[in-house]
Amino acid sequence: MTLPTITPAQAKALLDEGARLIDIRDADEHRRQSIPGAANMPLSALEPVSGHPAVIWHCRSGMRTAANADRLAAVSDCPGYLLEGGIDGWRSAGLPVKTDAKAPLEIMRQVQMIAGLLILAGVALSLTVAQGFVALSAFVGAGLFMAGATGWCGMARLLGLMPWNRRAA
């Protein structure tokens, strides 16, 4: 079963009638930027949703919700919809978005930035200092491949332990 896509204006009208808005992004993404009133239920922790006139699912751009529409429909006992354009579409429509500028960047963005920096450093050092530094780029590339193949990313785990990524108790 596929879920229909609705515009941010249609979603706002449904929310005003009591629909539930659920953000399927990871907690770190939701913490940094969210639609006021949206509940956070990451894809990895989906739970049954019932007792609402409707449920509206959203992510950042709409791609994750579209790719997982069947899973989202399966956990909802009420009419379900996908928010067109995700939180980006919501913001573009001029609707309110809550931003916490003090929250760290999402872990995967941190991984992408550090991996890119390490690869560039490995290439630059191999060209200017010693050819052996190309191994740094190869190591990072192999780690990215393994993360994609297995779904487990050691760099993300390590970054999650860093002080700037830990929530204050």
Positions annotated as catalytic residues are: 59
Tokens 């916490």, residue? 100
Instruction: At 158, list the tokens.
Output: 């390590």
Secondary structure element (H or E) that encloses residue 5, with its range: strand 5-6
* Residue 46 CB contacts under 8 Å (≥ 6 apart), including other chains: 24, 71, 72, 75
Instruction: In whole angstroms, give the CA distance from residue 4 to residue 73.
Output: 10
Of 55, 56, 54, 64, the closest CA to residue 25 belongs to 64
